[in-house]
Amino acid sequence: CTVESSSIIICAPGESVLLPCRDINSPHAHVQWWYSDSKILTPQYSVVPVDTIKGQRYKDRVKIHGNNSLSITRLTVDDTGMYWCKTTETDTNRNVQLGIE
């Protein structure tokens, strides 16, 4: 993968990526990751925990790490979009754009 900027990462299909969750490092914060396609500027559905309907394509491919970053394995073109990490305690959120080319 190539990091274009602090909020844009470009990968190839089949690669794995680690998406950072910047500035939300509270060890007490419960972090959720959300997805939206590039045209919608608000989170659409949960990636972690996996949304029971729309998030099934992430099943067995995603993991949250100790620093709240999100890894996604076996990337596909359908994974292109905006990913949001949000804390449940302060409702703080950060996003990162993922492109698959």
Determine the pLDDT at residue 43.
84
d(CA 74, CA 76): 7
Determine the pLDDT at residue 42.
82
pLDDT, tens only, 2-59:
999 888 999 999 999 999 987 665 665 678 899 998 787 788 888 988 887 787 889 8
Q: Report the SS3 class of residue 35.
A: strand
Residue with structure tokens 């491919």? 61
Q: Are 34 and 44 in contact (CB under 8 A)?
A: yes
pLDDT, tens only, 56-87:
889 899 998 888 899 999 999 999 999 999 88
Determine the pLDDT at residue 94.
85
What is the per-residue burial (b if ≥16 Cβ within 10 Å, else e) of 32-44?
Answer: bbbbbeeeeeebb
Please determine, for residue 90, whether its predicted confidence score (pLDDT) is greater than 90: no
